[in-house]
Structure 1
Amino acid sequence: MQIRAALARAQRADLSLETIEIEDPRDNEILVKVVATGVCHTDISARDGVLPTPQPVVLGHEGAGVVEKVGTAITKVRPGDRVVMTFNSCGHCPSCQDHHISYCHEFFPRNFFATRADGTSALSAGGARIHGNFFGQSSFATHAICHEANVVKVPDSAPLELLGPLACGIQTGAGAVMNALKVSAGKSFAVFGSGSVGLSALMAAKVVGATTIIAVDMHDARLELARELGATHTINPAKVDATAEILKITGYGLNFALDTTGLSKVIRSAVMALAPMGTCGILGASAPGSEIALDEVHFMSGGRRLMGIVEGESNPDTFIPMLVELQAKGHFPFERLVTFYPFDAINEAIRDSESGKTIKPILRMN
């Protein structure tokens, strides 16, 4: 079948909109007609060669759509089901067996290598191979092939075109708070970086009842939105020392901190702002090989903790529907973060994301 897709053919270059071919789903695959898909900084990193993703490739990993065909071995969904496509996992490694699928031992090949497990691709153009299966989907396209491991059925009443970012960015921020850090009522929490991931974490902290919620960002407009979404305090580190301000606000430091920047200096600042027994989570690194320097005495003597978090430590089959329900009830208004673009404007959406003009772009396929 012919589909329309956005291809990354060169690093740091615009994606090219092309007509390509997609195979029918194999016995263990699902064909989804994509309604909308989010644009994530991970897509940009893959385009630019920061991640080990080969080109030419169809990126995209926050897809939402309607199931069109299923393979004979598929039992989880059927044609007509409305779904979100999330990260992929193997289902059989020790992490997957222990229900920690975001730490799948095959996370990198299943999500970043843009190939099926057997090395093939379902995508081609004029007989030439196009890499696909990015995050088990490659949803910068009108159709995508995914798998039972990374497809999540959502209610027919849910606003499908809005839901794609729940697959990664929003799930990551909210899950970091709810699943990984396990922030609880009455605790203090600060997020460093107020993009879509950070603001999702902030909203989740409000949902669980944190009483001191601090947003740290260098953009005053983002800080203003953070206050509207539940921040009790905001800090611009370009104007004041963030750690000193947090200690002033809390008196003794934070119970929980979350870094979304991947910058070692910011992570150090977040850890220095922790109270004794406080925990800081980190969601990424600025580049492969990046290192973090901590004050060893401060870190050790206070029993402080630093933990890496992938995909919010979520079980998407239960966590994504929960976020859908919270949004429907007005408790998790992630629609405030979204700007919609037509699929043909994908490069504009990417540029607006890179510049910070748009917090979370979503592409409508129409």
Structure 2
Amino acid sequence: MKKIKAAVLDGINENFKIEKIQINDQLSPHDVRVHIVASGICHTDEAVRNGQGGDFPFPAVLGHEGAGIVTEVGSAVRSTKTGDHVVLCYDYDGYCKNCLNGRPAACINWNRLNMEGTKIDGSVPFYTEDGTPIKMLFNQSSFATETIVDDRNVTVIDSDIDLRKVGPLGCGFVTGSGTVFNGLKPEVGSSIAIFGTGAVGLGALMAAKIAGCSKVICIDIVPKRLEIAKGLGADYVINSKENDAVAEVKKITGGGANYIIDTTGITPVMQQGFDSLASGGIFVPLAVTRHEFKIDHPFADLTAYEKTVKGVLMGEAVPQKAIPELIEFWQQGKFPFDSLEKFFTLDQINEANQASSSGEVIKPVLIIDDDYQPGK
């Protein structure tokens, strides 16, 4: 066993603790060992920490927006090699009917692979110094100086790209953008309203502009975030603390938006989103939450207006396709996600997580390798 440093979470509502832990020396055939350079902090990490994400086993190393450098690969790995620079995303089995149909985010074993704390065979790569197994998140656990993932977690990128910036493409930004590109596929000239302007919401905003939506509306209660949304191209912003969001959306769109995305997971906000929808429109609730959303009168409220409520996981994205596309949009100046990031050290993880939860920072990024230099 090799010793590494990681942020360990011992239970619900506990703080992250920076500890020395052990990692396996041996790799299975499809394993990839990754030296982590940086990792974004995502709302899903906080949802696991505070229990909103459902039951999760502890102790655990969270983190699922990692970026780093491959240092070793298993004997059956063909998708990457030692020295590759990579962005990490969710795991999928690759052989179920949904994966074979090009829908890995709908993998039949998705929850087992990503949210139950172990690899598919029940093993883990991490242990405390006394030998207690430490659980994983997204088969990735990027809040550590080193991790072992499956080759399907890995997307190889050009080595001249700054790894400190691109980790969040593996979850928050791919979820927001992919919901637009893949889940909704909006017609050019259509209208879209996005409730909540965190990383997922702003990712959806940038994608909606790329997709050609003519009326992009962002709703939030934080003025600073609404200003950011305007700077990224929102055509309209609504402070729902000061205005009736439903009435404003209907006024702007002439009766309701064609597409609505909710990223808040708050019951009355989700209801506002659904109520802002045009006839024939699609509503997508994205947040990881235990809060309820109900349709009391399915015929009167849903069927009679041909409205759709759609579940979209991870933006329905194929990571190895979507992440390079987002990088290309970024390089073209169309997807400036890095303007939303703020760097923290691994030792500042609790401060960074609080900054994310409070809305002070859109996308905190933990710099785990302080010695990393882009392009080297």
The bucket for the TM-score relative to the shorter chain is over 0.9
Alpha-carbon distance, 1:280 to partner? 1.1
Q: Secondary structure at the match of 1:95?
A: helix
Secondary structure of 1:308's counterpart equals coil
Aligned to 2:374: none
In 2, the alpha carbon distance for the partners of 1:223 and 1:125 equals: 43
Q: Are residue 142 (structure 1) and residue 145 (structure 2) matched?
A: yes
Superposed structure 1 runs of 4+ greater than 6 Å apart: none
Name stretches of at least 5 consecutive residues in structure 2 with no aligned partner.
Answer: 371-376
Distance in 1, Cα, partners of 2:265 & 2:166 = 25
The one-character-per-residue Cα deviations of 1:31-56 (angstroms, maximum 9, x if unpaired) are: 00000001011111212333332111
1:269 is matched with 272
Provide the rounded CA distance (Å) in 1 between the counterparts of 2:74 and 2:288. Answer: 38
Q: Distance in 2 between matches of 1:85 and 1:130?
A: 22
Q: Which amino acid aligns with 1:197?
A: V
* 1:133 Cα offset (Å): 3.4
Q: Distance in 2 between matches of 1:129 and 1:259?
A: 39
Q: How far does residue 265 in structure 1 lie from its aligned partner after superposition?
A: 2.0
1:104-253 alignment to 2 at 5 Å? 104-253=107-256
Partner of 2:304: 301
Q: Distance in 2 between the 1:343 and 1:130 partners? A: 22
Q: Which residue of 1 aligns with 2:8?
A: 7
2:260 pairs, out of 257, 260, 269, with 257
CA contact (8 A) 2:250 2:276 kept: yes
The answer (yes or no) to whether the contact 1:256–1:274 under 8 Å persists in 2 is yes
Matched residue, 1:28: 30
Q: Name the stretch that deviates more: 193-202 or 39-48.
A: 39-48
Shift, 1:2, TM fit: 1.2
Q: Deviations over 1:279-328 (max 9, x none)?
A: 1111135317x342355314222211110110000011110000001001
3-state DSSP of counterpart to 2:234: coil
Which amino acid is the alignment partner of residue 206 of structure 1?
K
Contact 1:55–1:130 (CA<8 Å) still a contact in 2? Answer: no
Task: Tell me the residue number matched to 1:63.
Answer: 66
After superposition, where does 1:337-356 map in structure 2 within 5 Å? 337-356=340-359
Identity of aligned residues (%): 38
Aligned match of 1:19: 20
Q: CA RMSD in A?
A: 1.4
Q: Is the 8 A contact 1:31 1:68 kept in 2?
A: yes
Task: Give 3-state SS (helix, strand or coil) of 2:330's partner.
Answer: helix
Q: Which runs of 5+ in 1 are unaligned?
A: none
Distance in 2, Cα, partners of 1:49 & 1:246: 33
TM value normalised by structure 1:
0.96
2:75 to 69, 72, 76: 72
Tell me if the contact between 2:9 and 2:61 (Cα under 8 Å) persists in the aligned partners: yes
1:357 pairs, out of 353, 356, 360, with 360
CA distance in 2, matches of 1:282, 1:87: 20
